[in-house]
Structure 1
Amino acid sequence: MATLDWSTLTRSQTKSDLYARETYFREGLSDAEEVLGAEALATVLLDTALLMVKPDGLAAGVLPPVLEYLTEHGFTPAAVREFRFQPFHWRELWRYQLTSATLDRLAVNELLLGVGPALFLLLRGGPGHRLPGAVRLSTLKGSATLEAQKPGTLRSLLGQPNRVLSYVHVADEPADLLRELGLLFDASVRRELLESLRGDTLSSRDKDALDAALERFAAPTRSLAPTDALRRVAEAVDRAEPGPAAESARLRLDRMARGERVEWRPFMADLATAGVRPDRWDLAVLGTYFIVYDEPGYPKTLTNPDSEWWTADTQLR
């Protein structure tokens, strides 16, 4: 770590200080140096990016336009894996990014990310660009906040419905890419993914995985509209035995129908007490529309990379 050239991985001093002491990043970096070679690592990472189509993105049928967008901007798949989030993944993935998320948001994201598969894409960004592939793709992705999205960005074109149903995730910088490989995959799979960057074609295994995903998720597999989810959850509550918990759940659903935000974990507790078991997708969708996202007054520790990433005056020690 003492000889690591951080300027090839991140231009954030805060990020370098945090990642230098974190196991996920250090494992990802160690494997990348062994598989790709320490001298070649910076060059390979310059042309590499990472994108994951989240479970909500696959359910919404956005995989085909995501792949089309990537191709239009010079990105090609180097490796493809179907992936399922475990509860700790989301918490660790956003450890430094969240503006002190409410416990309700944590509960909703655990529900949402655990309800179906995601598709992990390791990408070649192609040579000849001033910015690393990860930084360039982070800029092209666009903000998860609808009001901050710029025309032509991926999330804007996909028409994501709200901040939590954001459809895709990307690694913002090469350092994030290495950290996420260390977090999301065990050593054997991580090395397979890194090994794919040594070639220039998609393996038959990965091509089959991509073709299977395209066939399965070529179109929306379910409605993510809040009105549909509200109706189905309300119908499930109406079938429950009368009682205080069922009545409390109905009152919270009425508030949602008026566009109000609710306390999510108490709502889930009401459903459990009343013996109501709605479809998990419907619950996840309702949660994304009707929760308070973050605790106010807590800024992010880490922010998205600056558009002027590749400048001489941002070199790190």
Structure 2
Amino acid sequence: MTTPAALEIPAYLSTLPRKRLLYAVDTYFREGFEDLTQVADSAERFCHDHALLLLKPDAVVGRRLGAALRWVIANGFTIVWADAVTIDRHGIRALWQYGLNAASRDRRDAADLYVTASECLLVILAMPGRSRAATLLLSEAKGPADPVGCRPGQLRYDVGSVNYQLNLVHTADEPADLLRELAVLCDHETRLALYRRALAAADRSAEAFDLVRRLEAATPAVRLDIEPTLDELAAAARAAADAPDPLPHLLALIARIRAGQSRDWRRLLRLARECGVPVSRWQRIVLATHLLDPYLPGIDSLLPDVSSTAA
């Protein structure tokens, strides 16, 4: 794949030649980069010094927003922009476009459920004066998507990542991703304002914590572990007034899932519906994200990920 436009993307934006080729014809990246060059004396310095942190709806309902902000501040980052953003199913596919080709249908369906469940908190961080780009430092420090691979000191471990998808945070891998993802998440005018405020280098942490309080006040807290969800569904099933025929099958499936003998969350939801057992959106999210297989066998992502992060 070759295009003359590929030569326009300097190596400081990405160490990956394939990414530079793909992003050369990516509308989101090009718009993010074009807007930055309108307002920044040095696009390279801005891209080197700034990182993007997206706190997802699981961080909102799990009440992990404040802990995540305190973590980045304690680790030397300065918050220079914060705002609430809403991501729809089109935004999900745009944001994770170069990884979702390898995602299972279960993972894509679960992403649609949880990423759209509430507003997210978008935070732009500054860490100037380092030899490596701030995006790389943050991406590596946050830890992998799977909590099994996280270790103490990493953002996802310290804040309390739950499972492969309910991992609370997303970060832009490299400077090129910072610009592209800002174009996905923000319109033209918002990007220009964001770039200008970030370049002003003022500490906006107070504004970020104000947003935390607003988001949490507007969104009920949720337990994200699977055991309480299974307990709630089993109790609701036993309390079903008419005791329909599928009820024993529902209870048996819940027991098998609890014992690690089944991961059939779609059948569980179908049986619950047939039994008249209500299942909330977040209960569906918890079941799906804990039980799904995230990958399509034999398919690689279009681009590698710095910390094996996924939607």
Name the TM-score, length of structure 2 as normaliser. Answer: 0.85
Shift of 1:23: 1.3
**Structure 1 match to 2:69:** 67
In structure 1, stretches of 5+ residues that fail to align are 307-317
**Structure 1 match to 2:17:** 13
Whole-Å Cα distance in 2 between the matches of residues 124 and 241 of structure 1? 59
Once the two structures are superposed, residues 217-266 of structure 1 have per-residue CA deviations (whole angstroms, 9 ceiling, x without a partner) of 49x92211211111223344553865566666555433322224434445
Kindly tell me: are residues 10 and 240 of structure 1, through their superposed partners in 2, closer, same or farther at Cα, counting changes over 3 Å?
farther
Shift of 1:43: 0.8
**Structure 2 match to 1:46:** 48
Whole-Å Cα distance in 2 between the matches of residues 29 and 272 of structure 1? 48
Whole-Å Cα distance in 1 between the matches of residues 214 and 121 of structure 2? 13
Amino acid at match of 1:177: L
**Structure 1 match to 2:142:** 141
Shift of 1:167: 0.8
Does 2:176 match 1:172? no
Amino acid at match of 1:213: V
The DSSP-based 3-state class of the residue aligned with 2:53 is strand
Whole-Å Cα distance in 2 between the matches of residues 246 and 92 of structure 1? 41
Instruction: Give the counterpart of 1:108 among 93, 107, 110.
Output: 110
Whole-Å Cα distance in 1 between the matches of residues 68 and 176 of structure 2? 23
Whole-Å Cα distance in 2 between the matches of residues 242 and 160 of structure 1? 37
Say if 2:55 and 2:122, in contact at 8 Å, map to a contact too.
Answer: yes
Amino acid at match of 2:221: T
**Structure 2 match to 1:312:** none
Does 2:233 match 1:233? yes
**Structure 1 match to 2:158:** 157
Kindly tell me: are residues 305 and 278 of structure 1, through their superposed partners in 2, closer, same or farther at Cα, counting changes over 3 Å?
closer
Kindly tell me: are residues 236 and 90 of structure 1, through their superposed partners in 2, closer, same or farther at Cα, counting changes over 3 Å?
farther
**Structure 2 match to 1:309:** none
In structure 2, stretches of 5+ residues that fail to align are none
The DSSP-based 3-state class of the residue aligned with 1:296 is coil
Whole-Å Cα distance in 1 between the matches of residues 276 and 38 of structure 2? 53
Whole-Å Cα distance in 2 between the matches of residues 293 and 169 of structure 1? 17
Say if 1:78 and 1:123, in contact at 8 Å, map to a contact too.
Answer: yes
Amino acid at match of 1:11: T
Whole-Å Cα distance in 2 between the matches of residues 244 and 293 of structure 1? 32
**Structure 2 match to 1:34:** 38
**Structure 2 match to 1:282:** 283
What is the Cα-based RMSD across aligned positions, in Å? Answer: 2.7
Amino acid at match of 2:44: A
What is the aligned length? 300
* Overall identity of the aligned pairs, in %: 30
Say if 2:85 and 2:120, in contact at 8 Å, map to a contact too.
Answer: yes
Once the two structures are superposed, residues 55-101 of structure 1 have per-residue CA deviations (whole angstroms, 9 ceiling, x without a partner) of 11122222222122211222111111112221122222222124721
